[in-house]
């Protein structure tokens, strides 16, 4: 079977390998159908992700079809369509025993560079408990976004948001946050974007209340203390975080979702005097993942996201395209029979 490797920064290589085999009753073999390229994958591709050893098989955002599976208590059979939770916890540590598996002391991630290959290959071994069966499927590609959707969903469940919410940036995670808050919670949401071109694109998708980042910076007094909660989706930097502290009302909250672009030093005096709370969100619970798969199967997010799909053989083009077009969510189609 074919397997994609990032052999070195900026280089993709497709090799032939033996198919994985079932080794115990707790594992399954899944044929990935669609795999997302996320921000951390892109950092590995360009050589900016610390601690990575090349070559590496990426791919933690994916959905697929069960190819082999033993009898199990979760009711999943060969041929079922599944979303796959990439987080593999030990089940034994302090956090796992408290039901906080996503904070596991020895958490491993499929495609995370910890000796567990990702889904950018024709078949992959997956623990049965990481499979979420999807029924009554409307469209395949969006289900590959279950992992970023679950990270988005987790970020708004770690604390109660105020009635007036501001989201910095509508990339993939920012857009999923916006849609869930809008259609599940009916929140009053505003958006901050960096360019007029992007603002016009979002307005054409019926997304309103959008502010230009530079307009806020240049007229800060007009915007100060009008927001209860701020969601900042990756990638973000210290300028965005510090601007958020100035925009928040006293007692407000910042939720930073995913990896920042840099180490961030905060204006602690501003935080202290306004009693601002900062929350960080990086992973997801099992229930977040299940709820995300349901939402993506019921709600057509493709109307709001810029999706671009490449075949596995064109993976080099896919990564290069993502670098040049960061607004797009890029997916790899693994199974050529879907053409």
Report the C-alpha gap between 108 and 104 in whole angstroms.
9
- What does the pLDDT read at residue 138? 67
Q: Is 111 left (phi over 0), alpha (psi -120 to 50) or beta?
A: left
- Domain that residue 241 falls in: 151-281
Instruction: Evaluate whether 3 touches 17 at the Cβ level (below 8 Å).
Output: yes
For residue 32, pLDDT beyond 70: yes
pLDDT in tens, 35-58: 999 988 999 999 988 778 899 999
How far is residue 58 from each of residues 45, 120, 186, 198, 261, measured CA to CA in Å? 9, 6, 36, 29, 20
Helices (H), 67-171: 94-97, 146-155
Report the C-alpha gap between 242 and 246 in whole angstroms.
7
Residue 196 lies in a domain: yes
Q: Is 249 left (phi over 0), alpha (psi -120 to 50) or beta?
A: beta
Interval 152-170 mean pLDDT: 91
Residue 272 lies in a domain: yes
For residue 289, pLDDT beyond 60: yes
- The single-letter DSSP state of residue 181 is I
Residue 86 lies in a domain: yes
What percent of the chain stands above pLDDT 90?
62
Same domain, 47 and 155: no
- What does the pLDDT read at residue 336? 57
Residue 292 lies in a domain: no
- What does the pLDDT read at residue 71? 77
Supply the CATH number for residue 119's domain. 3.90.180.10
What is the CB-side half-sphere exposure of residue 262 using CA atoms within 13 A?
Answer: 8
What is the token pair recorded at 336?
A: 């050529």
Supply the CATH number for residue 238's domain. 3.40.50.720
Report the C-alpha gap between 35 and 247 in whole angstroms.
37
Could you say which of 252, 281, 310 is where a domain stops?
A: 281
Instruction: Evaluate whether 128 touches 69 at the Cβ level (below 8 Å).
Output: yes
Same domain, 95 and 204: no
What is the CB-side half-sphere exposure of residue 136 using CA atoms within 13 A?
Answer: 6
**Number of domains observed in the structure of the chain:** 2
Confidence of residue 327 (pLDDT cuts 50, 70, 90): confident
Give the per-residue SS3 of 140-168.
CHHHHHHHHHHHHHHHCCCCCCCCEEEEE
Q: Using only the alpha carbons of the chain, give its radius of gyration.
A: 20
Residue 222 lies in a domain: yes
Q: Whose structure tokens read 């959905």?
A: 63
Same domain, 196 and 319: no
Residue 16 lies in a domain: yes
Same domain, 304 and 266: no
Residue 219 lies in a domain: yes
């Amino acid at each position: 079977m074919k397997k994609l490797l990032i052999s070195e920064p900026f280089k993709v290589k497709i090799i032939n390998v033996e198919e994985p085999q079932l080794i115990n009753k707790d594992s399954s073999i899944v044929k990935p159908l669609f795999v997302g390229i996320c921000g951390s994958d892109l950092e590995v591709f360009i050589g900016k992700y610390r601690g990575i050893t090349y070559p590496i098989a990426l791919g933690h955002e994916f959905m697929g079809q069960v190819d082999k599976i033993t009898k199990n208590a979760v009711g999943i059979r060969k041929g079922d369509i599944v979303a796959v939770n990439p987080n593999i916890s030990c089940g034994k540590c302090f956090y796992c025993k408290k039901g906080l598996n996503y904070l596991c002391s020895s958490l491993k991630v499929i495609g995370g560079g910890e000796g567990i290959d990702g889904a950018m290959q024709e078949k992959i071994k997956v623990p049965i408990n990481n499979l979420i069966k999807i029924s009554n499927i409307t469209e395949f590609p969006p289900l590959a976004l279950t992992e970023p959707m679950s990270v988005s969903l987790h970020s708004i469940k770690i604390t109660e948001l105020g009635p007036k919410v501001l989201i910095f940036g509508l990339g993939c995670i920012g857009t999923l946050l916006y849609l869930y808050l809008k259609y599940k919670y009916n929140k009053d949401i505003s958006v901050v974007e960096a360019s007029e071109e992007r603002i016009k694109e979002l307005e054409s998708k019926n997304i309103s209340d959008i502010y230009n980042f530079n307009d806020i910076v240049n007229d800060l007094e007009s915007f100060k203390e009008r927001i209860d909660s701020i969601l900042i989706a990756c990638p973000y930097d210290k300028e965005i975080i510090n601007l958020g502290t100035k925009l928040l009302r006293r007692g407000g909250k910042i939720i930073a979702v995913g990896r920042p672009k840099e180490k961030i030093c905060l204006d602690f005096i501003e935080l202290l005097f306004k009693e601002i709370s900062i929350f960080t969100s990086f992973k997801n619970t099992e229930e977040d993942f299940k709820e995300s798969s349901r939402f993506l199967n019921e709600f057509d997010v493709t109307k709001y996201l810029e999706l671009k799909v490449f075949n596995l053989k064109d993976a080099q083009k896919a990564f290069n395209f993502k670098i040049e077009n960061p607004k797009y969510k890029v997916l790899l189609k693994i199974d050529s029979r879907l053409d």
